[in-house]
Structure 1
Amino acid sequence: MAAPPRPDPTGAPSSAPQPNSSSNNVPPLAQAPEKKNPKQMTKAERRALQEQQRAAKAAAAVNSEKGGVKGGAKGKGGAKVSGAQVGPGSAPVTPRRPAGMGGGAASGDTPSRRESVYGGDDAGSQMHALRIFSHFGLPRPPSSVKGDIHPAIVRLGLQFSRFKITGANARCIATLQAFKTVIQDYTTPPNTTLSRHLMTHLNPQINHLVSARPMAVTMGNAIRQLKLEISDSDIDTPEQDAKDILCHKIDNYIRDRIIFADQVIEDTAGQKIKDGDVILTFARSSVVEKVILNAHNDDKRISVIVVDSRPMLEGKHLLSVLSAANIPCTYLFLPALGSVIGEASTVLLGAHSLHSSGAVYARAGSALVALMARTHNVPVLVCCETYKFAEGVVLDSFTKNELAPAGDLFHLFPSVIPRESLTLESKPNLEILSPLYDLTPPENITAVVTEVGIIPPNSISSIPFTLGRQTI
């Protein structure tokens, strides 16, 4: 394209249109520069050409089915994406979420799950969602799983997804009891054996429970042991006898690894509680509850400080049980921990899982309680059964976690403002995040009380060898 004509030095009017005063500030290269060889262009010319190409690609990408921004968002200065300026000083634009980003289809995310996190396709293109937490297990109803799902498993999946059954021990016992029903109602097809086909029949049941809520370590260890017992079944045993043997082994597992283990932990931890002690605990652990009640039944004069946190408020249930047993209790929320930690004699905590590095995975807030106790030189005892042991090493609670149900966060607030305006729900400009677990490092734990004894955190990896086998 030819260069614009220069004005006549004699002052005669030119036939070519003169540029207005506002266009004098625009760089010449922004006004349709003529095509040149890239080697002959200056650095500014090449940059302007790249910006125009990127803007054209971005416009084509927005109009395509994939959506999102592929190249336009990388432009500098005056690149445009879907009609919105992207550059210094311009308003931020949240593009439509590209496929393959964290929590997308590549990581097992489903459309229903994306809608629950991002508020649907329309809201997801406008809100600034917390994408770095999109891999957390979200509370959701169980999805349809291929295979014949037993009604007992369907009912249990609904209870898990609605948090009607919480706690590692309660979830494991409920799962094993449901599997007993599945096994008793199972019939071996012709030309096959129970030891081979039953595990194939159980896999859809397990997948259904996992779709309702991520599997706990206790459930995984119990299911692994059940599959081992099924594979070791004698093929010559009559079918009903084999099913009765498996159900009997399930009962033995619950009795030995949970019920009897809790009784041993009660006696062992009770020896560390002295008359007149002030015990501090967080949220609610079934084994910690038994330890406190057992110490009270031994005529030890103790008092308990129950620290709780939203949104689940599990400490309220523990408080009601201890108060019914005439145990003096103090109830407070986690932010007030610093005002009472100095009065505690011992801190008793429960655990969701125990890892070979000595770290304890427990209800969110346990790590803060252990840290505060260590700062004030208060011993921290973690009451945990050995079947909660996991060989993997967990460095933080961000890699794998769950989100607790939101619930009504303001039911105790004064009713000056209408309740409808106080209840928090996920909105285009608000994302509720309530992680269910956190990780307590081993340096903040004094000892772990198990049914095989009191173990220091740096010796947790010896639990499988103490039980006489490599895996649990």
Structure 2
Amino acid sequence: MSMITKLGLAESLNTFDLPGEAGSKEGKTKSQIRAENRERQEKQRAAKAAAATNKNSGGGGAESSKKTADTKLKQKQSVSQRPDDSGARRGAPSQAPTTEPPPSITADVENKIRDLRIFSHFGARGQLGHKIKGEIHPSIVRLGLLFAEYKITGANARCISALTAFKSVIADYVTPTNNSLSRHIMTYLSPQISYLTSARPMSVSLGNAIRWLKLQIGQIDIDLPEHAAKSELYSRIDQYMQERILAADVAISTFGLAKIHDGDVVLTYASDAGRNLLRTLAASGIPCTYCILSALGTVMKDASIVFLGTHALHSNGALYSRAGTALVAMMAKQHNVPVLACCETYKFSDSVNLDSFTKNELVSSAEMTSKTPAVYANANTNTRTPRDEFNLQLLNPLYDLTPPAYITAVVTEVGLIPVSSVPTVLSRETQAQ
């Protein structure tokens, strides 16, 4: 009875016009007003039902919504703490901590980046004795270190020292049972030769000497006792050094001296050995002038003849010698000064080279880098070298090639010959062997 009374009272109250709604209900029919009141009542009932549901659940919905919000906040924070991979791909600096590589690894990477791949075919000193199988004789190890450190330079000096070391290797060699020296000793000599090649690339003169030594070993009688075979090899090696190198130098000096007359000004180019040559000539009382290569145009005007040393002489007449030799020969040709190349015949090569890019040898670039003066050695200054600059690689080729057109004649132990006679000399030596 009370519920019916309350509902009726609420419906009756809704029929009254509120002060703000009086104007809005004007011009409306009773059916429209009743429909609006009914809609308002339904909204009120729905609001009361929702409030009752929240009250019965004990506020669990609010807590769940709060937990959901906290979970979303944590996920957002974790996503924001991850490194931005997209930014790294675009080149932006990453905020994630990075570990710096060791200095040695960084230096190796920089060296590889700076490496001049176009000159990778040039001979360069690698790791001494790397990937060489077999026992290495102590004399070869000592000689390899001297080669690698450029303590022994020059084609003649390298050849004589190598042949002398091979004599020590042969002396300590023991022929295995049921085998002969001439057939087995090359298996023992091959690692020694490879070790010397790893110290420095094989020179033409040393290659010819080793080829000759192999030929002499093959000519030894297999029935010859070991001590007799070794003695035969000793005598042949000594004969080769005496006739092809030492006596050849004396003959070359005699033939070259005949081309020097009183009052002549002789120009020579000895590269880094020029100071030793200057001391020798000055000690003999010969007046000398020592200049750098850039002053060649000034001193060439007074020169009467030019003498050049050789590392090898190719069959096409091209002169392979220390870097700078080609410049001296070309400048002499420009000033109509005769150029004589002094070369032993054992340095002749049957190969053909057209430029110094086909074959060359690279040495350490430390010689080209300026060093801090001694007076500033103790100063705390950060001296930057050219290697410190990015993408800068110093290239120091050891040899260059002089075209045959710039060489007047070649002074050998067999006399003065034109460069076109190199193949003839090579063919005669081949027939003599």
1:234-274 Cα distance to aligned partner (Å, 9 max, x none): 11211011101101100000000001111111111110001
Q: Equivalences for 1:147-158 in 2 at 5 Å?
A: 147-158=134-145
Which of residues 396, 410, 415 in structure 1 aligns to 2:370? 410
Deviation per CA, 1:433-457: give whole Å up to 9, x if none: 1100000000000000001111111
User: What is the 5 A alignment of 1:54-133?
Assistant: 83=89, 119-120=107-108, 122-123=109-110, 127-133=113-119
Aligned with 1:170: secondary structure? helix
Q: 1:262 touches 1:385 (CA, 8 Å); kept in 2?
A: yes
Matched, 1:449 2:372: no
What SS does the aligned partner of 1:231 have?
Answer: helix
1:389 maps to amino acid: F
CA distance in 2: counterparts of 1:213 and 1:453, whole angstroms? 32
Mapping of residues 202-213 of structure 1, within 5 Å: 202-213=189-200
The 1:324/1:194 distance shift into structure 2, 3 A limit, reads same
- C-alpha separation in 2, matches of 1:129 and 1:368: 27
Aligned twin of 1:461: 423
Q: Return the letter of the residue paired with 1:441.
A: P
1:142 aligns with 2:104: no
C-alpha distance after superposition, 1:102-139 (max 9, x if no partner) = xxxxxxxxxxxxx99x952x3257x4432111222223
1:371 paired to 2:336: no
Change (3 A) 1:430 1:251: same
Aligned to 2:339: 380
2:258 aligned to which of 256, 271, 282: 271
Q: Displacement of 1:193 after TM fit?
A: 0.8
Q: What is the CA–CA distance in structure 2 between the aligned matches of 1:415 and 1:202, rounded to whole Å? A: 49
Does the Cα contact within 8 Å between 1:141 and 1:158 map onto a contact in 2?
A: no
Pick aligned residue for 1:175 from 159, 162, 185? 162
Aligned partners of 2:220, 2:174: CA distance in 1, in Å?
15
Q: Percent identity?
A: 53
CA offset digits 1:165-195 (Å, max 9, x no partner): 0000000000000000000000000111101
One-letter amino acid matched to 1:324: A
Q: Deviations over 1:354-400 (max 9, x none)?
A: 11101110000000000000000000000000000000001111121
Change (3 A) 1:335 1:195: same
Q: 1:437 to 1:227 in 2, by over 3 A?
A: same
TM-superposed CA distance for 1:430, in Å, is 2.4
Aligned residue pairs total: 331
Shift of residue 229 of structure 1?
0.7
Cα pair 2:125 2:198 within 8 Å, conserved: no
Q: 1:330 aligns with which of 289, 295, 307?
A: 289
Distance change >3 Å, CA 84–CA 401, structure 1 → 2: farther
1:19-58 correspondence runs (5 A): none
Q: Cα distance 1:423–1:249, how it changes in 2: closer, same or farther (>3 A)?
A: farther
Partner residue of 2:398 out of 419, 430, 436: 436
**C-alpha separation between the residues in 2 aligned to 1:404 and 1:415?**
28
1:335 alignment partner AA? S
Native 8 Å contact 1:195 1:230 kept in 2: yes
Secondary structure of the equivalent of 1:174? helix
* Residues 141 and 161, structure 1, Cα contact 8 Å, conserved in 2: no
Using the TM superposition, give the Cα deviation of residue 429 of structure 1 relative to its aligned residue in structure 2, in angstroms: 3.1
Equivalent AA in structure 1 for residue 232 of structure 2: I
Letter in 2 for 1:344: A
In 2, the alpha carbon distance for the partners of 1:216 and 1:325 equals 32
Per the alignment, residue 203 of structure 2 pairs with 216
Answer yes or no: is the 8 Å Cα contact 2:278–2:288 preserved in 1: yes
Q: Distance in 1 between matches of 2:107 and 2:198?
A: 20
Alignment pair present for 1:394 and 2:353: yes
More relative contact order in 1 or in 2 (CA 8 Å, sep 6+)? 2
SS at match of 1:421: coil
Cα distance in 1, alignment partners of residues 305 and 189 from structure 2 = 43
Residues in 2 aligned to 1:160 and 1:84: alpha-carbon distance in whole angstroms: 51
- Tell me which residue corresponds to 1:103: none
Scaled by the length of structure 1, what TM-score is found?
0.66
1:421 aligns with 2:407: no
Counterpart position of 2:219: 232
* Worse overlay, 432-441 or 456-465: 456-465
Match of 2:298 among 312, 333, 339: 339
Tell me if structure 1 keeps the 8 A contact 2:350–2:426: no
**Structure 1 unaligned regions, length at least 5:** 1-81, 86-114, 284-307
Distance 2:140 2:360 in 1: 23
CA positional deviation for 1:459: 2.0
Evaluate the alpha carbon distance shift between residue 163 and residue 219 of structure 1 in structure 2; reply closer, same or farther with a 3 A threshold: same
CA distance, structure 2, for counterparts of residue 424 and residue 323 of structure 1:
37
- 2:291 is paired with a residue of what secondary structure? strand
Shift of 1:231: 0.7
- Tell me, what secondary structure is at the counterpart of 2:321? strand
Instruction: State the Cα deviation string for residues 309-336 of structure 1 (Å, max 9, x = none).
Output: xxxx321121122222221111111111
**Kindly tell me: are residues 426 and 466 of structure 1, through their superposed partners in 2, closer, same or farther at Cα, counting changes over 3 Å?**
farther
**CA RMSD across the alignment:** 2.6
CA distance in 2, matches of 1:280, 1:386: 23
SS of residue paired to 2:175 = coil
Which structure 2 residue ranges, 5 or more long, are not aligned? 1-87, 92-103
Amino acid at match of 2:253: E
Give 1:424 shift: 5.2
